[in-house]
Structure 1
Amino acid sequence: MRALVTGGAGFIGSHLVDRLLRDGLQVRILDSLQSRVHPHGLPAWCPAQAEFVRGDVTDKVTVEQALQGVDIVFHEAAYQDYMTDFSQFAQVNVTGISLVYESIVRHKLPVKKVIVASSQAVYGEGQFECAQHGFFMPRPRSREQLQRGEWEVKCPQCQRVSKPLQLEEDHPNPFNQYAVSKYGGERMALGLGWIYQIPTVALRYSITQGPRQSLYNHYSGICRIFTSRLREGKPPIIYEDGLQTRDFVHVSDVVEANMLVLTDARADYQAFNVGSGNPVTVQSYAERLGQAINPRIVPEVTGEYRVGDNRHSVSSVDRLKALGWKPQKTLDAIVVDFLGWVDSLGGAPAEAFQAEQVMRDSGVVQRVNPNR
């Protein structure tokens, strides 16, 4: 059996490739080796046993050729960043998966299953409960609210601060360019999969961390950014007040989720969250890293916020657990593995320190101005 892994040279994709090879599958990797993720070209971790095809998922001929002789597809390729090149998100994250199905249907390819990487980002600002008015899915917090430094989500009817709920699969509500493109991609996949009877599963990853995570692209997350500053003896910069919550999952648990839905037909034509289900504040996460790297450094809350960030994101994983999956790695294990990965590289590269300035220059990072 042969598997195609798009984005297979990347963080999650490469771990998936390793697992597939261990299970005795033939593997073909399709990856464009984006310079912002792979500035040095093909990573050393790409195994010689896997066939490597350098190409873009938005190129029809490339996709058609990559699908030849393939039985299953893991679509991990994605464009993710905080930059304002909005059209690129749709081009890669929607067109890319569309071409996979277009090629399968047009050429009657005998693909048995497609598993699509989606994102927790599809929930937008999240799901909340007002004590008086009940469940609601808010729009992103307004610029005016953020400028005042009012961080918590409020009920749109009574303006009371409301309780964040675990994110359930049935209530997506995407707003920013990345979230909308990922949701569009998964809907394209699940819809076409159903119509043409190509078993398809979408997996909505929470913040995934572990070895091989890129230290170069701006989207790589707070672990990389905080670690880079702590290694330089500088305090981690915390946006808002640090009490926003996030949900972290180890890359090995994400791989196991992929392998489970590959073989379990009960998962077909559905979307599943892949996370820990455990809320962690950004403040406590920064402190945990600080204890591991330099306990004398205290995180710094600067009175800034990042445009497009949501307040609380913690996924319910009950649906996937019902199939037998359960995350195995704790947050402490995630931190240890990531720091070991950074150490193996000799520390974070210079580019890791430039991300925040790039976001400020592009207007993504803003400062609170209560008088505005």
Structure 2
Amino acid sequence: MALVTGGNSLGKRVLVTGGAGFIGSHTVDVLLEKGYDVRILDSLQPRVHPRGKPPWVPKEAEFIQGDVANRADLERALEGVDYVFHLAAYQDYMTDFSTFIHVNTESTALLFELIVEKKLPVRKIIFASSQAVCGEGRYRCPEHGIVVPTPRPLEQLERGDWEIHCPYCGEYMEPLLIDEATISPGTTYGISKYAIELLADRLGRRYGIPTVCMRYTYVQGPRNSFYNAYSGVARIFALRIMHGMPPICYEDGKQLRDYVNVKDVARANVLMMEDERADFQVFNVGGGRAVTVLEFAYIMLREFGSDLEPQIPGVFRLGDTRHTVSDISKLRALGWEPTIPVEQNVKEYVAWIQEQKVTKEYLLEAERLMREHGVLRQVRKGGTQ
């Protein structure tokens, strides 16, 4: 393996934006274990961290509370840094579209702006991207071959028709593994992440700053905030089960997902920082196994020892994709493998969330906000479920 560090982390300083958050904090842990000096820049956004600085932020890491989109904060954080993980991001299902661009995309442009303007000796930048860049992914039509579909129309979802149709003949299509060449973002969040990928490649090459973009799939595990609506299926199911409510599956529960443990993701992040072969590349980061949402619900129910049954009430969430399973062969070729199966992933998350002081108000408030903003919707009367 070609290491940019020469295998020596001694004296190398790494900035992790969003380092108090979910993926960021686990990446900080791996970096510290490997002997790097770590600095964290995190705004402690109230929607994600309403209790302030979380207890898992290690004392060994320097902590700066600041905004990645603020010039003075970011300039201060970049001082004396060798490598950067730009993992801070705005993620939610709310309709504040401009915030996605401001926080995710503009901060990336500002990062390059400061490095170039101040002639900072940053050796490499790792960016958090997302499978949202790929939208609905890739499908195969028996007649028309491989198709990259657009998002499912609202009218289709309202009648409970969940699967993807061929845009040419209208027939149902077979979902395929999503490779890194698939680009079709269907949400503002996905668009903001694709813009990051473009900036990383174009500005990185122009100014000789190696970059890597990591397209995460459905990352699960401890420390995933249970305060915002984006935090995912594990949060939704766990909070409902903990409070005696059955897990609710959106659509028909047959959506295929690719769940990956956050520890595997953190390990991939650091490996790609250290490996020169990753420079100027985009990598899918997934669990390597397709699981339906309904299967995931049963896995979590078993872990809780609950006799509740999942419910499928004909509810859907605007912006969700039908099937998302990544092709991770490119990352595997550089020596990374997912090591934590879905069952262990759920076990770790359940053990963690049971230690947190969580009331069902967090869950109900997130659901209320999604309904209020038109994100969470019901199948029309007479539609199929």
Give me the TM-score of the superposition, normalised by structure 2: 0.94
Moved over 2 A (4+): 346-350
1:366 aligned to 2:377?
yes
CA distance in 2 between counterparts of 1:325 and 1:349 reads: 38
2:121 match:
110
Counterpart secondary structure, 1:73: strand
Residues 4 and 28, structure 1, Cα contact 8 Å, conserved in 2: yes
Query: Which runs of structure 2 are paired with 1:99-248 in the superposition (5 Å)?
Result: 99-248=110-259
In 1: Cα distance, 2:355 partner to 2:382 partner:
47
Which digits, 9 at most, give the CA deviation of each residue in 1:31-86, with x for residues without a partner?
00000100011111111111111110111121111111000000110000000000
CA deviation string 1:142-199 (max 9, x = no partner): 1111111111001001100000011100111102111111111121112211111101
**2:97 matched residue in structure 1:** 86
Q: Distance in 2 between matches of 1:170 and 1:216?
A: 33
CA distance in 2, matches of 1:95, 1:326: 32
| Distance in 1, Cα, partners of 2:101 & 2:129 | 13
**Cα distance in 1 for residues equivalent to 2:81 and 2:59:** 18
AA matched with 2:196: G
Quote how far apart the aligned CAs of 1:361 are: 1.4
Query: Quick one: which of 88, 92, 96 aligns to 1:77?
Result: 88
SS at match of 1:114: strand
Which of the residues 261, 266, 271 maps onto 1:260? 271
Structure 1 residue 352: Cα displacement: 2.8
Distance in 1 (alpha carbons) for counterparts of 2:377 and 2:187: 16
Aligned equivalent of 1:9, options 20, 26, 37: 20
Deviations 1:221-250 (A, max 9, x none): 010011111111111111111101111000
* Paired letter, 2:335: G
2:54 maps to which residue? 43
Deviations 1:4-48 (A, max 9, x none): 000001011111111111211111100000001000111111111
C-alpha separation between the residues in 2 aligned to 1:20 and 1:277?
A: 24
Structure 2 counterpart of 1:19, one-letter code: V
- Out of 18, 28, 42, the position equivalent to 2:39 is 28
Secondary structure in structure 1 of the residue aligned to 2:354: helix
Q: Which of 107, 113, 123 is the aligned partner of 1:96?
A: 107
- Aligned partner of 1:324 in structure 2 is 335
Structure 2 partner of 1:356: 367
Where does the alignment leave 5 or more consecutive residues of structure 2 unmatched? Answer: 1-11
Query: CA offsets per residue over residues 105-160 of structure 1, 9 Å max, x none?
Result: 11110000000011111111111010110011111011111111111001001100
Query: 1:293 corresponds to which residue?
Result: 304
Distance 2:158 2:338 in 1: 38
Give the aligned partner of residue 262 of structure 2: 251
Alpha carbons 2:239, 2:363 under 8 Å: kept: yes
The one-letter amino acid of 1:306's match is R
Partner SS, residue 344 of structure 1: coil
The answer as to whether partners of 2:243 and 2:360 remain within 8 angstroms in 1 is no
Tell me if structure 2 keeps the 8 A contact 1:118–1:205: yes
Give the AA of the match of 1:336.
Answer: K
- The Cα of 1:348 is off from its aligned counterpart by 5.1
Residues in 2 aligned to 1:349 and 1:360: alpha-carbon distance in whole angstroms:
17
CA distance in 2, matches of 1:128, 1:341: 37
Question: What is the percent sequence identity of the aligned residues?
Answer: 50
5+ residue gaps, structure 1: none
Q: Match of 2:107, SS?
A: helix
Say how many residue pairs are matched.
Answer: 372
Which amino acid is 2:69 matched to? T
> Quick one: distance in 2 between partners of 1:7 and 1:51?
13
Any conservation in 2 of the 1:32–1:54 contact (CA below 8 Å)? yes
| 1:206 positional shift | 0.8
Contact 2:288-2:338 at 8 Å conserved across structures: no
| Rounded Cα–Cα distance in structure 1 between residues aligned with 2:39 and 2:331 | 27
Tell me the amino acid that sits aligned with residue 270 of structure 1: Q
Q: Which residue identity is paired with 1:193?
A: G
How far did residue 349 of structure 1 move? 5.9
The answer as to whether partners of 1:233 and 1:294 remain within 8 angstroms in 2 is no
CA shift, 1:294, in A, is 4.2
Residue identity in the other structure for 1:31: D
Say what the alpha-carbon RMSD is for the aligned residues.
1.2
CA distance in structure 2 between the partners assigned to 1:250 and 1:288 by the alignment: 15
Select between 308-317 and 356-365 the one with higher mean Cα deviation: 356-365
Q: Provide the rounded CA distance (Å) in 2 between the counterparts of 1:209 and 1:132.
A: 37
How far is the alpha carbon of 1:295 from its aligned partner? Answer: 3.3
In 1, the alpha carbon distance for the partners of 2:360 and 2:208 equals 46
Deviation at 1:277, TM superposition (A): 2.4
Deviates more, 1:71-80 or 1:285-294: 285-294
